[in-house]
Amino acid sequence: MEIKFFFSAVLLVFLPFLAYHAESVTIFDISKYGAKPGGEDISPVLAKVWKEACEATNASKVLIPKGTWYLSQIRLVGPNKAPLELEVQGTVEANPDYTKLPQKDGQWITINYLDGFTISGGGVFDGKGEQAWKANDCHKNPNCPKLPINLSLNFIKNAIIKDVTTKDSKNFHCNCISSQNVTFQRFTISAPGESINTDGIHIARVSNVKVLDSNIGTGDDCISIGDETTDLHIENVKCGPGHGISVGSMGKNPAEKDVTGITVKKCTFTGTSNGVRVKTWPNAPATLKISNLHFEDLTMNNVSYPVVIDQQYCPWNLCTKDKPSLIQISGLTVKNVRGTANTKEALLFSCSSSKPCQNVQISDIDLKYVNSIPANFTTVCENVKPTVSGKQNPPICPTPVQAS
């Protein structure tokens, strides 16, 4: 009796509390406000309920239920007065024709100026990008049309993006710009390896961002990291197809600011052109510093170049190499990298002759050539004298410094 009385008393105390919190989230279900799946543009309804949700003084949720929903284009802008969640259970589809965007220079879905924000629900943002990929000639045409990003996040604080998929974007799948304390978790990105310029997540001018437990397969960098990025932690990400996880490219803009505190850990790369990479342009004006990079516990499965430091980055001959990069790279740790490579130069350290790489530590490298090991399976080292320890397969630079 005493035990029953005790639990009854506990329930009497906590039930009002639980009921309050259950009722404290206001749900804005777009289907209850007139949105219909199957072809009608949901952007007017979504814009209306979003505005109401941002004005709410208690926690609110904008719900896109299961089903297929057509969305032409939208800007979802704060500020929000209380915690706000966008729960996408269904599939949201873009117009396949990139010329039909209402705002030609905009993104598909833009979300700006929020604090305390969540995207969740298990749904899909389908950018329908195949037509745009075929028309993309931006690598040779400076006047090419600007193609929309699936999910553009800007000026976001204290946010989590979890359990959703972005698929077949016409351009980058997602960017995260000028934001703080943002976590991507169980975030899926899907596009064919031949889709042009479809970076998975582009991150720049941020601090305290995490990308965790995610699967990214695309036609460009799985994650690309721009300037003024501080304290970025990437862990347990599966990358492939794609170009790997890249810091840069950097150097073209003289206003670019320092990058520091980048960790890539326990990630797996499968069939990618690169694993982890840093790329800076030669003969370019920027003089920022890239420091405190930690690439650890990485698995490479049939990767062309598992580790790359390329300070002579010049794709499609868009520059000249008569002057070296002015960007200083320092504090680089490469540790416990294992698996297979499909080129003879498994690790490439091509540092700047004007700013040689400093404080580079390499340990426990165990890479194998996908077929039989050629006699010249090796690393390339220019303007760098790394300190090495542990296993070195392939051999790390001709004259490394042995760790004491």
d(C-alpha 91, C-alpha 281), whole Å: 39
User: Within 10 Å of residue 176's Cβ, how many Cβ atoms?
Assistant: 25
Give alpha helix (H) positions in 78-188: 130-135
Active site residue 294: no
d(C-alpha 44, C-alpha 47), whole Å: 5
d(C-alpha 74, C-alpha 108), whole Å: 6
Q: Of 239, 231, 151, 237, which Cα lies nearest the Cα of 193? A: 239
Instruction: Go through the chain and tell me how many residues it has.
Output: 404
d(C-alpha 152, C-alpha 371), whole Å: 42
d(C-alpha 227, C-alpha 258), whole Å: 6
Q: Report cis status (omega within 30 of 0) of the bond before 241.
A: yes
DSSP 3-state of 339: strand
What backbone phi and psi angles, to 5 degrees, belong to 332? -100, 125
The answer to whether 62 and 30 are in contact (CB under 8 A) is: yes
* Active-site residue (options: 139, 173, 233, 243): 243
Exposure class string for 43-61: b at 16+ Cβ within 10 A, else e: bebbeebbeebbebeebbb
Tokens 């170049």 — which residue?
305
Cite the active site residues: 243
